[in-house]
């Protein structure tokens, strides 16, 4: 169900082509709301809008905003692309039309139709959106000429416009292209699934590195299999099927208070031991002896060393991020509070450049 409330736009806080941040008056209070310009049209002061207030009411972290469902001052709209017949968010009240790289009207149709091999392209696979920025910065630190495509899956946030990280990386010219696959939308290119997204990265974007990660706002339930990042296992197999090179960024932390995320997160352990059928490279940072022993025991106990190619990597992640003035958080913790998390990102990125 949707918790809906009427509101009046009182101020425009920020705006770009894709998204407008509003200050609205709702339930006798002033609160922030987000408007997707290409879905509900442009918003202005004085507009009467209908909000989805679920996220704020439930006190969610990522995604904790009101979202405009309808602008009563802007009820007419037109398609933003002339061609394209693929619908995303299908059979919902906000289903939208886009032009995917696969469909016959696409100028890239013939490329997609004839390709089932990404010719050894390296693919860095991340379970969390917060890994995207540090991974890209480490990659670009070592290889300024590297051409990187970001593939956003549909296991978390669906509109790529929501990601301030992607916007910053694009503005800094660190990401060359973005591809939104499945029900995710709004990238430079749209694709029906992750296989054709990888083909697009290789042959349309002509990238020599792809980074696959969900958008912000993943889901976990504290159960073995009930988390959105479980898609990583299928992505490993997809990359191998297409004859690419999958490199996993393990989720590692010794700052998380939850026992199941201590050392290598149970999410990563589950993916690598139970979900993926094929093998991936795994970059592990060289940590202090006590931490290294915990990680080694987790790897052995879960049989990960027998299935995957584990590489211990001497990385310089924290120095690189400081030098490049990168500020990023994961689960509310910054680089100083959870350094091992970011070292693991840098280790995998460094490994990707050296295999």
Closest CA to 309 of 344, 286, 291, 282: 282
The full DSSP string for 224-293 is SS-BGGGHHHHHHHHHHHTT-EEEE---EESS-SSGGGSEE-HHHHHIIIII-SS--EEEEE---HHHHH
Grouping H, G, I as helix, E, B as strand and the rest as coil, residue 164 is helix
Annotate 307-344 with DSSP letters as a single string: HSEEEEE---HHHHHHHTT---EETTEETTTSHHHHHH
pLDDT digits (tens, 9 = 90+) for 76-121: 877 777 688 899 999 999 899 999 999 999 999 999 998 999 999 9
Q: Report the alpha-carbon distance of residue 248 to residue 240 in Å, rounded.
A: 13
Give kind and range of the element (H or E) at residue 3.
Answer: none
> What does the domain layout of the chain look like in residue ranges?
4-71, 109-352
Kindly indicate the confidence band of residue 55, based on its pLDDT and cuts at 50, 70 and 90.
confident
Residue 63 has pLDDT above 70, yes or no: no
Question: Options 3.40.1620, 3.90.79, 2.60.40, 3.40.50; which CATH number does 109-352 get?
Answer: 3.40.50
Predicted confidence (pLDDT) per residue in 305-322, tens digit: 999 999 999 999 999 999
Query: What pTM value is reported for the model?
Result: 0.95
Fold of 4-71: OB fold (Dihydrolipoamide Acetyltransferase, E2P) (2.40.50)
SS3 of residue 19 by DSSP = strand
Cα separation of the two ends of the chain: 48
Tokens for 283? 């970059």
The widest CA-to-CA distance across the chain, in whole angstroms, is 63
Q: Which of 218, 216, 88 lies closest to 164 in space, CA to CA?
A: 216
pLDDT beyond 70 at 62: no
pLDDT, tens digit, 9 for 90 and up, residues 202-248: 999 999 999 999 999 898 898 999 999 999 999 999 999 999 999 99
Q: What is the pLDDT of residue 319?
A: 97
Q: 150-164 pLDDT, tens per residue?
A: 999 999 999 999 999
- Tokens at residue 245, please? 């090179």
Determine the angle formed by the axes of helices 339-352 and 132-142, rounding to 10 degrees: 50
């Amino acid at each position: 169900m949707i918790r809906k409330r009427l509101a009046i736009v009182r101020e425009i806080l920020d705006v770009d082509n894709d998204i407008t941040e509003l200050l609205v008056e709702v339930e006798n209070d002033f609160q922030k709301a987000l408007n997707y310009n290409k879905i509900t049209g442009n918003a202005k002061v004085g507009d009467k809008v209908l909000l989805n207030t679920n996220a704020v009411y439930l006190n969610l972290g990522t995604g904790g905003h009101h979202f405009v469902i309808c602008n009563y001052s802007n009820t007419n709209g037109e398609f933003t692309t002339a061609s394209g017949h693929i619908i995303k968010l299908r059979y919902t009240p906000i289903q939208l039309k886009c032009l995917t790289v696969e469909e016959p009207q696409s100028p890239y149709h013939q490329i997609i139709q004839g390709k089932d091999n990404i010719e050894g392209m390296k693919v860095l696979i991340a379970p969390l959106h917060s890994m995207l920025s540090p991974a890209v910065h480490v990659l670009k630190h070592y290889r300024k000429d590297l051409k990187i495509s970001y593939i956003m899956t549909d296991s978390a946030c669906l509109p790529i416009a929501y990601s301030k990280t992607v916007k910053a990386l694009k503005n800094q010219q660190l990401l060359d292209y973005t591809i939104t696959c499945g029900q995710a939308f709004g990238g430079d290119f749209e694709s029906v699934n992750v296989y054709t997204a990888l083909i697009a990265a290789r042959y349309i974007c002509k990238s020599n590195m792809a980074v696959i990660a969900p958008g912000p706002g993943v889901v976990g339930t504290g159960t073995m299999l009930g988390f959105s990042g479980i898609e990583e296992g299928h992505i490993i197999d997809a990359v191998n099927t297409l004859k690419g090179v999958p490199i996993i960024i393990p989720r590692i932390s010794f700052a998380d208070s939850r026992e199941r995320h201590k050392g290598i997160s149970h999410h990563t352990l589950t993916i690598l031991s139970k979900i993926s059928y094929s093998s991936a490279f795994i970059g592990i940072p060289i940590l202090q002896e006590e931490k290294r022993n915990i990680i080694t025991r987790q790897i052995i106990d879960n049989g990960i060393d027998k299935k995957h190619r584990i590489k211990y990597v001497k990385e310089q992640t924290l120095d690189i991020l400081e030098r490049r003035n990168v500020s990023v958080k994961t689960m509310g913790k910054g680089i100083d509070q959870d350094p091992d998390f970011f070292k693991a990102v840098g280790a995998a990125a460094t490994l990707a450049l050296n295999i």
